[in-house]
Structures are given as C-alpha cells and as structure tokens.
C-alpha cells in the first residue's frame, strides 16, 4: 500500500496557499475548532478519499501520518 503522506502534504500546502494566516497552528490552543487552512485540507482529503464523512473521520483518526503531518491530536468530528 502506498504512503498517503504525499497527498496529505499536497492538500496541506494547497490549503495554506489560499488563507490569510497560513502559519496558524492547525488546532490553536483555546480556539474551538481548527485553523482555516486545516479545514480546507480536511475537505481536500475527504474529496481525494471519496468516502462518506464517517469513513473519512475514521481514516483520519486511524492515520498517524495525517495527524503528524497536520500536527493534530484527533480529527474533526464528521
């Protein structure tokens, strides 16, 4: 099975190109939710996976690669 890291990195980089604050942490302390770039990356990854939201959430939670690449502890709730 091929590594998903390249697609995760590509989605992250694309998302950061289209926001006002690309240096904001993915899950800022004290904030409710995720940074704008992280939300865009999640949407891009969801589209790439072509799975329903529950399956996508499960993949995010089971994938250490995505959590490490995006620097998050857990995925957003579907």
The helix, strand and coil proportions of the chain, stated in percent and rounded to the nearest 5, come to 55, 0, 45
Q: Among the listed ranges 7-16, 17-26, 57-66, 68-77, which one has the minimum average pLDDT value?
A: 68-77
**Sign of the CA dihedral 8, 11, 14, 18?**
negative
Q: What is the pLDDT of residue 17?
A: 96
Average pLDDT over residues 35-46: 90
- Asked if residue 32 has pLDDT above 70, the reply is no
């Amino acid at each position: 099975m091929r590594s998903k890291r390249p697609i995760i990195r590509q989605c992250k980089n694309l998302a950061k190109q289209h926001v006002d604050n690309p240096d904001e942490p993915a899950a800022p302390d004290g904030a409710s939710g995720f940074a704008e770039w992280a939300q865009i990356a999640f949407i891009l990854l969801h589209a790439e996976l072509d799975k329903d939201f529950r399956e996508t959430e499960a993949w995010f939670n089971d994938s250490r690669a995505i959590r490490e690449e995006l620097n998050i502890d857990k995925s957003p709730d579907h």
